[in-house]
């Protein structure tokens, strides 16, 4: 459970950092870049890739199965 929560926080932090850079690079459109050039630019920058990496870590942390070993005859209420 602690591992999942830690991965969730790391993924969330990476997504925030990556999205901040993606939004800040929107200023390139105002100096004459078109949208396709903007997309090519942000896909080549590592700090923008942190948004994608963070999203994948976040999804992994949500869908990792819970690895608790239960006793066979134990009743949980």
pLDDT tens readout for residues 14-30: 999 999 999 999 998 88
Q: What is the pLDDT of residue 11?
A: 95
Q: What whole-number distance in Å separates Cα of residue 10 and Cα of residue 25?
A: 23
Residue carrying structure tokens 């949208």: 35
**Distance between CA atoms of 68 and 72, rounded to whole angstroms?**
12
pLDDT value of residue 64: 81
**Which pLDDT value is given to residue 72?**
64
Work out the pLDDT band at 12, boundaries 50, 70, 90: very high
pLDDT of residue 68: 64
Structure-model confidence comparison of residues 34 and 76, the more confident one: 34
């Amino acid at each position: 459970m602690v591992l999942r929560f830690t991965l969730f926080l790391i993924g969330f932090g990476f997504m925030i950092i990556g999205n901040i850079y993606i939004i800040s690079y929107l200023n390139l459109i105002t100096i004459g870049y078109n949208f396709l050039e903007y997309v090519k630019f942000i896909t080549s920058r590592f700090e923008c890739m942190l948004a994608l990496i963070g999203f994948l870590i976040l999804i992994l942390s949500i869908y990792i199965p819970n690895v608790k070993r239960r006793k066979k005859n134990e009743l949980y209420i």
